Chains A and B, each alone.
Chain A
């Protein structure tokens, strides 16, 4: 996921009109377009459509009952709690890491960047497993935790930890290239004029990185609310207590309660669509800002 950042979208130049020598005949053009659309239909559009059709198959009444069921509501609540903790934590980390990496030179910087990427390379199942090894009953802190009657695994803290792990790099990954490209001239000018570190950050850096920051937060939130594998390992699947929305979908599905499973799934699919819309708005904003800067230079 490393290369899907916002930075690539600022390069909407090079719109050269193409003549016959550098474009294809219409029949090739259209067969390529149609092949692409068929491929995307089988893998994207049809499955997406299936979520909503399956959800409404037994009518709107069943749909609403499935969503207002007390187990569903507590799953929604837990998903919101996990995201509400994981997103701010990784936001602060991302800004802090990007400040250190983009504004300063130090030894081992590229190693640090690679280490920040590690959670992307780790299977979600393993992300859950490592916290079981530490906080589980037989884990490092297992007996200490059970003596003090504090549960991490098969409880909310474990779910939050697993969510933090899988969404760890998103904000940092967006901000590091953005802040590296912006350099530090403006911050240094602020410093010369007597601004404090916080003033520089709030009045110079933050306005410059706000779109990248928002982009990172949107991606973090989407992944935090949708994470399945890692959360599945640490949750224990206790209905009404430690089930997030994706886990609730799994339980309903395995009980052959397909209409209810797809009803909850349709909420998550809506969340995904909202995420894509917000993402497109941010990308459009960035492209617009980039073209304004290009014209004013």
Chain B
């Protein structure tokens, strides 16, 4: 990293001393690296133009409605049914992902089996696969004539075009979150604590529930919250498999789209504002969880 031409003037010892002296001087001053105003200015400008001002448009548009109008739009029976489905299905999907995500992370970190590396890489598929593709693929598999659907249908289980289909799609798109938040914590877990628990007479199940699980808890909760937050706003993977029957399998993002297509901009925006507020609250909760998680894991060492 050191520029060669300086060697003409200084020998390396003098140079090192010079750098150290200068760095100490810098430490006393505030900060001397260039570009602060430029980069922060550009960051704030770009953030405002792309994100903040457009998002504020949603709130400004809603203020055109009186509170009573707003309230009757966001509590209309069909909209209420969509909240119930969106939040209920997201919650169930996030719970499924918490359980199986923990299991997947455990298996990937602790055990060896053929094809493990490929499976580890494929866990990220829901991040990489476009949601529309996921939607039609899941529909093809879980429809009555699909590979899995045709096995379930004779038992009276209909997946596609029912709320169960919504849960399947939301489980798919949330799948990587819990795995990827729990996996690194599990990797960093010291074997010594488990050995200590075993030597003190704990059996494997006790060690897991009393020693390992408490350490994983913040990461598990963070992954759960991320999967839940992602599921609430999801659109592409759901609309194909859901069938979109009003009051039964119609998610809230679809309500917004339907209102937009009927040029009901203010009522579409009113529902959007309700979702935005919930999403922002979740974002703050997740940030808090991550801070807790980092502190918890940091204090282990």
Q: Do A and B come from one complex?
A: yes
Binding site for B on A (CB under 8 A): 1-4, 8-9, 11-12, 14, 16, 18-19, 21-24, 29, 32-33, 35-37, 39-40, 42-48, 50-51, 54, 93, 96-97, 99-101, 103-106, 112, 114-126, 129-134, 136, 138-140, 161, 164-165, 168, 184-197, 200-201, 203-204, 219, 222, 225-229, 232-233, 245-247, 249-250, 253, 258, 261-262, 265, 268-269, 271-273, 275-277, 279-280
B binding-site residues for A, Cβ under 8 Å: 1-3, 6, 18-19, 22-23, 26, 31-36, 38-40, 42-44, 46-47, 50-55, 57-58, 61, 100, 103-104, 106-107, 110-111, 113, 117, 119, 121-134, 136-138, 140-141, 146-148, 168, 171-172, 175-177, 180-181, 183-184, 187-191, 194-195, 198-199, 204, 207, 222-223, 226, 229-230, 232-236, 240, 253-254, 256-257, 260, 265, 268-269, 272, 275-276, 279-280, 282-284, 286-287, 290
Assess whether B257 is in contact with A125, with CB atoms less than 8 Å apart: yes
Question: What's the dominant secondary structure at chain A's contact region?
Answer: helix
Residues of B within 8 A of A227 (CB): 130
Choice from A129, A184, A185, A193 contacting B269 with Cβ under 8 Å: A129
Contacts of A23 in B (CB 8 A): 110
**CA separation between A228 and B233, bound complex, in Å?**
12
A229 touches B235 (CB 8 A): yes
A121 and B125 within 8 A (CB): no
A100 CB contact (under 8 Å) in B6, B36, B226, B234: B36
**A16 nearest in chain B by CB position:** B191
B269→A133 contact, CB < 8 A: yes
Report chain B residues within 8 Å CB of A122: 55, 233, 276, 279
Flag if A130 contacts B55 (CB, 8 Å).
Answer: yes
- B3 and A186 contact, CB distance less than 8 A: no
Which residues on the B side are within 8 Å of A190 (C-beta)? 1
Give the complex CA separation of A139 and B19 in angstroms.
57
Check if A193 sits within 8 Å of B128, measured CB to CB: no
**Cross-chain contact B279 with A33 (CB below 8 angstroms):** no
In angstroms, Cα B194 to Cα A118, docked, is: 39
Asked if B235 and A123 sit within 8 Å, CB to CB, the answer is yes
Instruction: Kindly report which residue of chain B lies nearest to residue A140, judged by CB atoms.
Output: B57
Closest chain B residue, CB of each to CB of A192? B22
* Contact A44–B122 (Cβ < 8 Å): yes
- On chain B, the residues within 8 Å of A196 by CB distance are 34
| CB atoms of B138 and A14 under 8 A apart | no
Whether the pair B124, A276 counts as a contact (CB closer than 8 A) is yes
Is there contact, CB below 8 Å, between A8 and B183? yes
**B259 to chain A: closest CB distance in Å?**
10
Chain B: which residue is nearest A136 at the CB level?
A: B265
**Given A42-B148, A134-B54, A195-B3, A93:B43 Cβ within 8 A:** yes
